[in-house]
Amino acid sequence: MPPMRIFGIESHPYLEVVPTPSGKCFWCNEPIAEDEIGFVLDHWGETLTEAFYHRECLMRSMVGSVEHQKGECSCYQTHQKRVEQPMTKREGAKAAWEYYEQKTANQGGSLP
């Protein structure tokens, strides 16, 4: 089985499409809904298991929060304390993915 699979779409040129899993997202710990797009990844803990991610949650784990993408988080502004907007991990992931999509589109790029 490939280490990354996708669910919630009919076909993908590079990834195996699998049925939507029943379980919670590894990132935000919220349930995966039948109509959501996401990924199943192999996860090594004490044993090999599968980790489910909402699409936005997996992408948030790669591109960072909105503040990080803007260069306004403590990674860049160590002398300045920022107060981030209170939101759930899932809401933050959606915001980060939306910001990333907009930024990429504005730079003339396209998403894979």
Kindly report the CATH number that applies to the domain delimited by 4-106. 3.30.1740
Report pLDDT digits (tens) over 53-106: 999 999 999 989 888 888 887 787 776 665 666 889 999 999 999 999 888 887
The domains of the chain are located at 4-106
pLDDT attached to residue 45? 80
Tokens of 13: 């040129």
What number of other Cβ atoms are within 10 A of residue 27's Cβ? 21
| Global model pTM greater than 0.85 | no
Phi-psi region of 64 (alpha: psi -120 to 50; beta: other; left: phi over 0): left
Residues 80-89: contacts with CB under 8 Å, at least 24 apart: 88/28, 88/30, 89/27, 89/28, 89/29, 89/30, 89/57
Q: What's the pLDDT at 15? A: 95
d(CA 28, CA 53): 8
> pLDDT band for position 43 (50/70/90)?
confident
